[in-house]
């Protein structure tokens, strides 16, 4: 038996991005059960981790497919055997469409869905699909958007025109459903935000009804898709309640459940629990950045070996989690110990700590990032660890 590398023993280079396996496995199992019980198809956005080893765990737990937002991401998924991809974006680029068509032609089991929101976009897609010769239709969902927001039609009339263009582009294209991203409703007042999101989901439902009424959907169940990682309770409630002339399935794309975080989504999960009056899903933060004390240049100032090249700050600074004296394996919690990240450089975190912080040069300090998306994308490898911080797997990322 080979001895495992241990993070606390400095067998691996620091700083190191670590995911705790016990928390990860619980999160993946619990969120899948949550989706299953509510009767929705889970197709999590996987751009957060871009870690095929995690894709494998999510798919093994039973998720319907995985969501991506660029063809560079799609190619990573395909190289790692992902069969069903929800491409939550308009498919426009010539090189992208060549790639998708080639994959559809090569692999009959590749199941692919993309978005469209304009007649010129559909015409360009159809023209490029014709050149790419996939051998079967490309599945398209009409994207609904918010005024002042991002992509997506702004009214039902436009949605009908785009859907008719898709129909006219048959058999190159097939209309599979309706999609939107409710997370773009950004009213800071929670009650107003909830109302805006319900209204937006109602708009998607009205689009679906209009297309259904005109017989524009292709064969198979109609797909209605939404769901970031903050408001998926509302998505499930509103979209499962839609009634069309034929069966539909709700495709939920929430992705941040895998590792959660120590700031943004942890807080949004509390909001969701409060709003829904339920403790489900039960998720816990699984990600940590382990750093080393490089310097204690002033009594209350500790310089750590990880900076904005190693963790995101877009949703607040990481918090200090744990201290380990170098050469020992004893962990001491730093939560509530008055540590604060005063600043971050590219490669350094500048921490302030109260007198008697008890930290020396060479000690290890774990940080809890506030946002998984902007932390994963800074690493080429993630160490999966057991509860004693033995490395059980080193998982490459592909951003």
Which positions touch its own copies (CB under 8 A)?
10-15, 47, 69-72, 89-90, 92-96, 99, 117-118, 120-121, 124, 145, 147-154, 292-298, 301, 303, 305, 308-309, 314, 326, 345-348, 350, 360-362, 373, 377-378, 380, 399
| Cα 222 → chain centroid | 23
Q: Helix, strand or coil for residue 173?
A: strand
Looking at beta carbons only, is 281 or 307 nearer to its own copies?
A: 307
352 contact partners, CB below 8 Å, separation of at least 6: 300, 301, 302, 339, 340, 342
C-alpha 37/C-alpha 22 separation (Å) is 22
C-alpha 213/C-alpha 105 separation (Å) is 32
| Smallest gap from residue 295 Cβ to its own copies (A) | 4
Looking at beta carbons only, is 3 or 109 nearer to its own copies?
A: 3
Angle at which helix 264-276 crosses helix 232-240, to 10 degrees, equals: 40
User: DSSP string of 244-274?
Assistant: -SS-EEEEE---TTTT--SSHHHHHHHHHHH
User: Given the structure tokens 């933060």, which residue do they identify?
Assistant: 285
| Smallest gap from residue 382 Cβ to its own copies (A) | 14
Q: Helix, strand or coil for residue 324?
A: strand
Neighbour count for residue 299 (Cβ, 10 Å): 11
Looking at beta carbons only, is 137 or 144 nearer to its own copies?
A: 144
| Smallest gap from residue 311 Cβ to its own copies (A) | 13
Looking at beta carbons only, is 109 or 346 nearer to its own copies?
A: 346
| Smallest gap from residue 315 Cβ to its own copies (A) | 12
| Smallest gap from residue 336 Cβ to its own copies (A) | 25
C-alpha 328/C-alpha 136 separation (Å) is 61
User: Given the structure tokens 């992208």, which residue do they identify?
Assistant: 96
| Smallest gap from residue 65 Cβ to its own copies (A) | 18
Kindly state the tokens that stand for 342: 């005063």
Looking at beta carbons only, is 61 or 142 nearer to its own copies?
A: 142
C-alpha 334/C-alpha 260 separation (Å) is 20
Looking at beta carbons only, is 151 or 260 nearer to its own copies?
A: 151
Looking at beta carbons only, is 196 or 212 nearer to its own copies?
A: 196
C-alpha 61/C-alpha 288 separation (Å) is 23
Looking at beta carbons only, is 23 or 146 nearer to its own copies?
A: 146
| Smallest gap from residue 172 Cβ to its own copies (A) | 16
User: Given the structure tokens 């995101």, which residue do they identify?
Assistant: 312
| Smallest gap from residue 351 Cβ to its own copies (A) | 11
């Amino acid at each position: 038996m080979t001895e495992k590398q241990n993070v606390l023993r400095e067998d691996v280079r620091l700083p190191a991005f670590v995911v705790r396996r016990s928390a990860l496995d619980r999160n993946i199992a619990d969120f899948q059960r949550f989706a299953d019980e509510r009767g929705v198809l889970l197709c999590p956005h996987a751009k957060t981790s871009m870690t095929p080893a995690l894709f494998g765990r999510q798919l093994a737990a039973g998720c319907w497919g995985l969501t991506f937002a660029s063809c560079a991401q799609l190619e990573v998924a395909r190289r790692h055997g992902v069969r069903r991809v929800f491409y939550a974006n308009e498919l426009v680029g010539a090189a992208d469409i060549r790639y998708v068509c080639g994959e559809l032609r090569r692999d009959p089991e590749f199941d692919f869905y993309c978005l469209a929101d304009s007649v010129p976009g559909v015409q360009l897609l159809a023209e490029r699909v014709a050149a790419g010769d996939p051998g079967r239709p490309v599945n398209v969902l009409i994207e609904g958007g918010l005024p002042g927001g991002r992509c997506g039609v702004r009214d039902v009339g436009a949605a009908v025109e785009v859907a008719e263009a898709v129909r006219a582009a048959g058999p190159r294209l097939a209309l599979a459903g309706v999609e939107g991203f409710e997370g773009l409703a950004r009213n800071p007042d929670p009650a107003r935000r909830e109302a805006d999101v319900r209204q937006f989901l109602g708009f998607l439902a009205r689009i679906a009804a209009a297309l259904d009424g005109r017989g524009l959907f292709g064969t198979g169940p109609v797909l209605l898709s939404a769901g970031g990682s903050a408001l998926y309770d509302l998505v499930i409630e509103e979209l499962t309640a839609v009634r069309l002339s034929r069966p539909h399935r709700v495709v939920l794309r929430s992705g941040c459940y895998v590792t959660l975080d120590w700031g943004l989504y942890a807080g949004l999960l509390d909001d969701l629990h409060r709003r829904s009056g339920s403790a489900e899903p039960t998720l816990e933060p699984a990600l940590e950045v382990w750093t080393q004390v490089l310097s204690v240049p002033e009594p209350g100032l500790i310089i750590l070996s990880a900076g904005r090249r190693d963790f995101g700050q877009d949703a607040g600074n990481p918090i200090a989690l744990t201290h380990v004296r170098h050469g020992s394996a004893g962990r001491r919690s730093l939560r509530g110990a008055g540590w604060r990240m005063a600043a971050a450089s590219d490669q350094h975190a500048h921490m302030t700590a109260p007198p008697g912080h008890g930290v020396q040069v060479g000690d290890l300090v774990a940080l809890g990032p506030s946002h998984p998306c902007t932390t994963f994308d800074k690493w080429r490898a993630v160490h999966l660890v057991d509860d004693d911080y033995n490395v059980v797997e080193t998982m490459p990322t592909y951003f």
